[in-house]
Structure 1
């Protein structure tokens, strides 16, 4: 993943912002809502659920955009500069480190929601890691923790703690909201356990390696066509390996995802006479998702329905 483009814009924005004088951060005591900026959809959704009516939560990455290669505009940098709280997942947002360095704000609270979570290795050796978070020669770690209903609970708790630090007067409300949302995530986890425990098959093929934590949670095997980044093109040899695996394990559904061209998944499906279906990595909502009123819980339930059907074919 290349991160050079847009960094000039960040630097320019930082220079402009340094003279603006509007970087007070916390709005405590002036009656305004807490200003919160979150990186991409899962972070926005989790933060809104915990914040309730006590904060204005703004998401950076727009609907329909794929977050792996997105970079902030000067306007986005300005929003991060002025935020009371900035929430990001970690590792998937390669622009964060430099952006935070260029937008110093002593009162701003930063939540890296992935912190403290035991991560698993991914399968894409070329996936970008944040600077300082990967030693040369190591396999990259998988950032897609939000797709595990259990690990999502930990991210929600981290966001709750950040909101409480930024706005201690509403600590009880943030805890109440977080508790309520975590109950929904626990119910989602139980539904996954119930619906997947007796599946005929345990292997599924998906477009990119986003579902490692989900597979680990429920005793499944994820076979990705691409690596941790959906833009990675598989080699002919890798394509042949996936086809061979699909035939050997009688896989009848190849999963593709929203926001990414499904042609590679379709090619494999055509090769083995399988059908395709959506397995949504929830990296961003499409306009269609929003028009249907879909959210994290509903899309995860849709993912479960698709998985359960495919694993019992």
Structure 2
């Protein structure tokens, strides 16, 4: 009888240890980080799907139903419009769901919510995610901390590589359609020049101004995002005899996004 009890206890432990916890977040880059730390222990629900724009996306009823099953919601916390509009409503769906502000400890730039496009900020964001996961799933705390340490080492190594690569690029100006890369620019002493200001489409005078600036500073790269039409970027690139580089700030693989930015700055 004792032997049967031990076997049943062991089976219960296996079932529990393999069970995933439900967690939610706003955008794909954060899902990627959570999965790097939580791996097979977490089931991540993302509210803003691939290709959608967080400034304008409205969650579907089925998504809200899924979120209501979560133990914790990892919010970006940098005044991203989706969260300003919907997070209070989402939290009411499950009053037991914890809200983790992943921006805690980060100095947020004015009118720039893209805090995750920075290796320095990512270290803080990941630490906040770690604490959130450990808070709702203490049984797997050791597992989460081990994955966190590996992830942080990779961030630090990449930061060293980029710092070395861009050490002679301080003050370098680069053109972007949408101002999503200000934190990356701040980290390495670069200057971001946006085509679009606010949500308004750039007019002829705006385009002329950018072309003039590009020619004066010998800028040959125009960075655009897949969430926006490349039409204006293509016009500017043609006028300055440069090229358009598409970089997605909402890609799930945020490390790859930052590597692409580094490569664009080195051209």
Question: TM-score under structure 2 normalisation?
Answer: 0.86
Corresponding residue for residue 134 of structure 1: none
| Equivalent position to 1:96, from 68, 86, 91 | 86
| Correspondence 1:297 to 2:255 | yes
Q: Distance in 1 between matches of 2:229 and 2:72?
A: 34
Corresponding residue for residue 125 of structure 1: none
Residues 170, 188 of structure 2: 8 Å contact kept:
no
Corresponding residue for residue 41 of structure 1: 28
Residues 61, 70 of structure 1: 8 Å contact kept:
yes
- Richer in helix (by share): 2
| Equivalent position to 1:214, from 184, 197, 222 | 184
Larger radius of gyration: 2
Q: Distance in 2 between matches of 1:67 and 1:284?
A: 13
**How do 1:1-12 residues align onto structure 2 when only pairs under 5 Å count?**
none
Corresponding residue for residue 264 of structure 1: 232
- Is the alpha carbon distance of 1:284 and 1:71 closer, same or farther for their aligned partners in structure 2, counting shifts above 3 Å? farther
Question: How far 1:53 moved relative to its partner?
Answer: 2.0
Once the two structures are superposed, residues 97-129 of structure 1 have per-residue CA deviations (whole angstroms, 9 ceiling, x without a partner) of: 3323531422x121121122111123xxxxxxx
Corresponding residue for residue 253 of structure 1: 221
Corresponding residue for residue 119 of structure 1: 108
Q: Distance in 1 between matches of 2:200 and 2:142?
A: 44
Q: Distance in 2 between matches of 1:101 and 1:87?
A: 11
Corresponding residue for residue 131 of structure 1: none
Q: Secondary structure of the equivalent of 1:243? A: helix
Residues 253, 275 of structure 1: 8 Å contact kept:
yes
**How do 1:1-313 residues align onto structure 2 when only pairs under 5 Å count?**
31=16, 32-90=19-77, 91-92=79-80, 93=82, 94-106=84-96, 108-122=97-111, 142-199=112-169, 202-227=172-197, 231-281=199-249, 283-284=250-251, 295-309=253-267
How many residue pairs get aligned? The number is 250
Corresponding residue for residue 8 of structure 2: none
Once the two structures are superposed, residues 216-266 of structure 1 have per-residue CA deviations (whole angstroms, 9 ceiling, x without a partner) of: 110100001113x6x531233322221221111111121112222111111
Residues 195, 207 of structure 2: 8 Å contact kept:
yes
Q: Distance in 2 between matches of 1:104 and 1:58?
A: 14
Q: Secondary structure of the equivalent of 2:175? A: strand
Q: Secondary structure of the equivalent of 1:184? A: helix
Residues 258, 280 of structure 1: 8 Å contact kept:
yes
Aligned-residue RMSD, C-alpha: 2.2
Question: TM-score under structure 1 normalisation?
Answer: 0.74
Residues 278, 306 of structure 1: 8 Å contact kept:
no
Q: Secondary structure of the equivalent of 2:180? A: coil
Residues 38, 87 of structure 1: 8 Å contact kept:
yes
Any gaps of 5 or more consecutive residues in structure 1? 1-29, 123-141, 286-294
Q: Distance in 2 between matches of 1:232 and 1:57?
A: 33
Question: How far 1:170 moved relative to its partner?
Answer: 1.4
